[in-house]
Amino acid sequence: MKAKLALEDGRIFEGRFFGAKGIATGEVVFNTSMTGYQEVLTDPSYYGQMVAMTSPHIGNYGVNRQDQESARPWVRALIVREAAEFTTNWRSRIDLDRYLKQRRIIGITGIDTRALTRHIRDKGAMRGAIVPFENSDSRAIELAASSRAMKGADLVSQVTCKSAYRWRKGFETGWSPWKAGKYGKTRNKNEKAFKVVAYDFGVKINILRSLAHFGCELIVVPAGTSWKQVLSMEPDGVFFSNGPGDPAAVTYGIMNAEKLIAKVPLFGICLGHQILSLALGARTFKLKFGHRGGNQPVKRLKTGTIEITAQNHGFAVDTDSLPGSCSITHVNLNDATCEGFEHSSLPLFAVQYHPEASPGPHDAAYLFDKFMQLMRDHSH
């Protein structure tokens, strides 16, 4: 069945449906990962977005049970050049087309994703609509232009957990990206596990696995949990997770972060990085087209080494707005934006990218060890 993708600026791309059929709207963004479409689909940070994969052949290894980053897919739609008709992988349980149908996620294939990506790079990420081909271009453009804008949108409330729960599963059984042992547990056998409260702004499962792997017993709490409730749990540290939407709109998260600063070691990833910066008085801004993919180069300023990182964000921290008490620890080599900072005197640091690397490289896994050491240094 033929379909079309319309952008709010009037650009039209023709293709055909796979997965579910119907109408979808959202911000159109692109991801440069060659693999990892299942993790992309189930990453809550993509809520409200239609994701175009720049790799031309998507779906060839199917969908498995291990690579879910949450219990369900969150993307509004998946846009690909060619959806694989055949699946070949020993872990696969279902093909991508059937998976999308079952989860009622619209897909469009046959799109010139190279042209789409170049257009977004030139013009910026923008709203779009996928509709059946018989819809008029003007109607499709109208749907795109009238859909919700990402700037100013608090989407965290739509993806956070409903109630607190405990998480203790690391990589002890089953598949693990770190089975080779390069990133082993740093907690001594006789050392008590660190109790960490994790704010769920749209947390990925692999972040929880990673924290548990490095020696944390986690209590995952809804995004609106008050700082007083968190402190009543007597945590050794507090983690601020990734998530979707505009960080400046998550006012409750910023307020709780403000109250927790200086009281307990803090670590933030992605949206958590932005929320901690806002709590310190910094500003955030919307990037032209964002950073999304498992091949993003970041320079670690302390050592001068280059890390290839996994990223997914459309907003960034304004470096010049960070207070003098903070220092930049990492910068993006493509556009020099802030990828990490730490406080000079308080136990607080954050990174914009994803050290849990799911999908992606494992260059930055040491950051979990850094959080463990921070809690060790400030334990009573």
Which is the catalytic residue, given 313, 330, 354, 362? 354
| C-alpha distance from residue 109 to each of 14, 64, 113, 289 (Å) | 9, 21, 9, 22
Question: Could you say which DSSP state residue 117 is in?
Answer: H
Give me the catalytic one of 270, 273, 339, 342: 270
Residue identified by tokens 């903070």 is: 326
Indicate if 362 belongs to the active site: no
Write out the two tokens for 173: 């059984």
270 is catalytic: yes
- How far are the Cα atoms of 19, 31, 127, 228 from residue 312, in angstroms, in the given order? 23, 8, 17, 30
Reply yes or no on whether 356 is catalytic. Answer: yes
Q: How far apart are CA 198 and CA 266, in angstroms?
A: 10
CA-CA distance, 223 to 240, in Å (whole number)? Answer: 9
Q: How far is CA 180 from CA 176, 212, 322, 356, in A?
A: 9, 17, 38, 15
**Tokens of residue 57, six digits:** 């052949």
Q: Which listed residue (69, 326, 356, 362) is catalytic?
A: 356
Active site amino acids: 270, 354, 356
